[in-house]
Structure 1
Amino acid sequence: MKPDSPSDPLCPLCGRPLGTANIDRHHLVPKSLKGREQFPIHKICHRKIHSVFTEKELLRTYHTWDKLRENADIRTFIDWVARKPPEFYTTTATANSKKRK
């Protein structure tokens, strides 16, 4: 495995290098709500976002990286995942009981 180079792209949520494994694409405005722009993001970071927020919450409040990072649940996750290598992935709890707004 080659070391990360300064030119490696960074995850817009956690700030770690993206690496080459376990990469997803995130729509800041959900695709189902007419969002078009996509961003590469770690799969674990992407799953965390969708386990915390409904699509309507993403549209109304959390449609920027700064707003996402300001959320306490996301901030706790970022602090935890910061110590993991870019390729790290584990399943994340999904919030099946979260309210659909």
Structure 2
Amino acid sequence: MPKSRGGREVVPMHPICQQTLINNFTNSELQRYGMDVESLLALPPVRKFVDWVANKDPDFNAPIAKKKR
């Protein structure tokens, strides 16, 4: 849950994964999902990203295009 929405728990996350979530979801949307990883993985943009990044090296990094809203 984003800090701006009352979240206090810090979850370690790879920068490219964090940037993908930030670019695809608002803080309100992330608040609704909370720590429900299965629900996030069921969403097409997240599933597509996870499938793409699964075979990359752990230290892989690439720019992520911002979602046009």
> What is the TM-score normalised by the length of structure 1?
0.63
Does residue 69 in structure 1 map to residue 62 in structure 2?
no
Residue deviations 1:34-61, cap 9 Å, x none? 000011111101100111100011112x
Q: What 5-or-longer segments of structure 2 have no aligned partner?
A: none
Unaligned runs of 5+ in 1: 1-28
Q: 2:20 aligns with which of 48, 56, 74?
A: 48
Q: If the length of structure 2 is used for normalisation, what is the TM-score?
A: 0.89
Q: Percent identity?
A: 40
Aligned pair count reads 68
Q: Paired residue for 2:62, among 86, 90, 98?
A: 90
Letter in structure 2 aligned against 1:41: M
RMSD: 1.0
Q: Shift of the alpha carbon at 1:65?
A: 1.6
* Bigger proportion of residues as strand: 1
More helix by share: 2
SS in 2 for 1:91: coil
The Cα of 1:94 is off from its aligned counterpart by 1.5
Residue 90 of structure 1 aligns to a residue in which SS? coil
